[in-house]
Amino acid sequence: MKKVFTWFSALVLLGMIATGCGVEDPFDPIGGNVGLEGNWTIDGLPADAASCAAAGIANVELRLYDRFGSEFFSDVQHVEACAVGTLSTTARFRPGTYRVLWVATDASGRSVFRSGFDTITARDGDIIVANTDLPSVPPVTEFNPRGTEVTLSGEWQVNGAIPDSFNCAETNIATVEVVFYDSDGTSPYTDRDFTFACETGSFVRPNSLAAGAYKSQWRALDAAGGIIAEDEILDLVVSPGDATLRTPNFVIEFAPTLDMTLAWQGIDTFTSCAEATVGTFDYDLRDSTGATVSTMTGLGCTESLEFSDIAPGTYQLDVIGYFTDGSQGWASICDSLVVDATGRSEYICNVGATTPTLDVTISWQTSPGGGHGTCDEAGVTSFSYWLAVSGSAETISSMIGIGCTELLSFEGLDPGEYTLSFDAMVGAAKYGGDCDMLVTSFGIEEYNCFVDLE
């Protein structure tokens, strides 16, 4: 049987313990062959009745927490009189990673000292051995409501709703804590056992308080521990048994925000930048009038964009993606994006694989001053064309004397204005003319071009 040792070199006052997170399901490590053993000294010397009395310590408890340090398991096997100096449990815990923590209590059951966490991983058949050294000097008397007479419970709301992962993230609330005060409303006391993950929505802490008259307050905290919202400080008078705190509603007001998730077309489906091999991209966010609200070019590819503190209304997002060589490979217009006056509006924009394409349908005049029709109807058998950038002598594409057709398609063009010129002869009759067209980044542009007899 292997013993896995851990040593606690320091203890800290309960009132100075940092907050942590709760978990939704009760922590229950029972169901294996791992044991727990604890040993303690007082100022480096074996604990006895005299040294324990001098230190103001009646009992010592070794708590077994989950690997996050959120929920703990403890029963009579985890508690021993201080003077005994050691405790052990039967081999009954599942293998895994745990945190262990020492708590020392006085004769009234109030916690007076608590160690820091230590993390240990135990395999089947191991014994977790935790050692600590308790200080011999009794703590300075400070307000501490902890005890074993009262089971405390409570629940909270976020913007009038039951908390969940969505509304907690939306309001930036990471944890919710209960702060206790003495009866005068001074000497705030916080404890990791009364700090909970926002989305859990409720808690029950069995045998966690001493009976008495206190004040309490709810607080909503961000991930860094900053206070986002807090309830008023209320009287809390508890007798032995069960007690429930008043339910707070954390109302968080924030500016309208548009969250866009970008999905890029890959081989078989819309996917991430990396899988679709997108290098960079441009975007334009436009309001309902077409005015640009936000624009960026040459951004490293990402799957998310956030536009915060924008006016309520309807928006359109134009997205163009490029390969690493700079050639265009993706483009989409995502419209009808409605942003509410308050809250976070979330949309997914599927950016399709595309390159600017110009499709031109040609209609040939069938007679002078007459209508337009097909090649056969006009008697055109061959023609020539020249596609150029408007206002430039540069020819992008040209063909001389090709068989007559009613459709021309040009792919891979740069966005911009183009002029398509025609020339054809039918006997002595001559056809000619120019068509001006605009090519955008967003897929296929279709134009009808009417070629007249000169």
Number of neighbours of residue 295 by Cβ within 10 angstroms = 11
Average pLDDT, the chain: 87
The pLDDT of residue 239 is above 50: yes
Looking at the chain, the whole-number percentage of residues with pLDDT higher than 70 is 93
Q: How confident is the model at residue 288 (pLDDT cuts 50, 70, 90)?
A: very high
68 vs 433: which has the higher pLDDT: 433
The confidence score (pLDDT) of residue 57 equals 93
Q: Assess contact for 300 and 280: CB atoms under 8 A.
A: yes
The pLDDT of residue 434 is above 80: yes
Residues 45-67, mean pLDDT to the nearest whole number: 91
The pLDDT of residue 68 is above 50: yes
Express each pLDDT in 306-354 by its tens digit: 998 788 999 999 999 999 999 899 999 999 999 987 677 899 999 998 8
Q: Which helix (H) or strand (E) holds 54?
A: helix 49-55
Q: How confident is the model at residue 76 (pLDDT cuts 50, 70, 90)?
A: confident
Q: Assess contact for 130 and 38: CB atoms under 8 A.
A: yes
pTM: 0.43
Among 198, 200, 150, smallest CA distance to 174 is for 198
The pLDDT of residue 422 is above 60: yes
Residue owning tokens 């010397």: 45
The confidence score (pLDDT) of residue 9 equals 35
Express each pLDDT in 164-223 by its tens digit: 998 898 888 999 999 999 988 878 888 888 999 999 999 999 999 999 999 999 999 988
- Number of helices (H), then strands (E), in the chain: 4, 39
108 DSSP 8-state letter: T
Residues 224-245, mean pLDDT to the nearest whole number: 92
The residues, ordered by sequence, that sit 6+ positions from 427 with a Cβ below 8 Å of its Cβ are none
For the CA atoms of 374, 380, 386, 389, what is the dihedral angle to 10 degrees? -30
E strand intervals along 323-375: 328-339, 344-351, 357-365, 372-373
Q: How confident is the model at residue 141 (pLDDT cuts 50, 70, 90)?
A: low
The confidence score (pLDDT) of residue 137 equals 75
Among 9, 95, 8, 102, smallest CA distance to 59 is for 102
The confidence score (pLDDT) of residue 140 equals 58
Q: Assess contact for 114 and 191: CB atoms under 8 A.
A: no
The pLDDT of residue 17 is above 70: no
Q: Which is it for strands 357-365 and 59-65: parallel, antiparallel or unpaired?
A: unpaired
Q: Which is it for strands 429-439 and 416-426: parallel, antiparallel or unpaired?
A: antiparallel
